[in-house]
Amino acid sequence: MMALKNRISLPSPLFGLFCSTPSPLTVELIAAAGYDFTIIDLEHTLISPDQLAVMLMAARASGISALVRVAAPYQALQALDNGAEGIVFARIRSPAQALDAVRSCHYAPLGLRGLNSTWHSAYGRDDLVETMHAMALETLVIAMIEDLEGLEHVDAIAGVDGIDALMEGAADLSQSLGLPWQTRHPRVRAGVSAIQSAAARNGKAFCCLPRAKEDFDCAVEQQVRLFILGDDRGITRRAMNSHLVQHKPSLR
């Protein structure tokens, strides 16, 4: 399977889903549904290291690319060593933070990631130097821009060597603007547009989280090719509710 980092430059759109449920079965279901990738979320969940390891194994077995959104920078090394294709860093506010993110994900000379003979080299069976070079070409680093400070430095963040994509965080951005949960407010939309433009100016991919069909259609017209279509919990709840409504007249 081609690494997600190499697929984001292709013309076909790619669709992902946040995975917030601490279960390898959920990862398998996301793969079976046909998504191109999943982002296992450590920021807003209590997914443990042991659970994460098994979820990443499930992703490999199911043939789906798995990224991990980390709650703290030290988690990047652990996630990558256990098979994550890339890391999503929340609340990147400055080029210095972006550079630290890159350094935590890559080996020298681009980064400071510690060496270890992990599953990538079949635990030392394969040439370790060749494995390092291969991983440099396949490790995806995504910076989320989620507040006013990040927005003020978005061009400098996008320009950091090793940042592959910017992801909008309209929910937290709305809060930063004093408009909590008004993710489609004109000021929030303007902020998201600024993130998209900065990515384009710096030759980086842009990851969009459309909240409505018209948002998705607009992004497609603007040639956005990387999408997160929500998370497993929300989709599961809506599907369960829809199923119940079909059978319980009082809810119709």
Q: How far is CA 72 from CA 144, 188, 195, 205, in A?
A: 14, 26, 23, 23
Q: How far is CA 199 from CA 112, 158, 218, 221, in A?
A: 25, 6, 17, 16
Q: Are 155 and 201 in contact (CB under 8 A)?
A: yes
Where are any strands of DSSP class E within 105-222?
Answer: 140-145, 165-168, 205-208
- Indicate the residue type of 249: P
Cα–Cα distance for residue pair 239/31, rounded to 1 Å: 17
SS (H, E, C) 91-124: CCCCHHHHHHHHHHHCCCCCCCCCCCCCHHHCCC
The tokens 């990538």 sit on which residue? 120
Q: List, by residue number, the catalytic residues.
A: 44
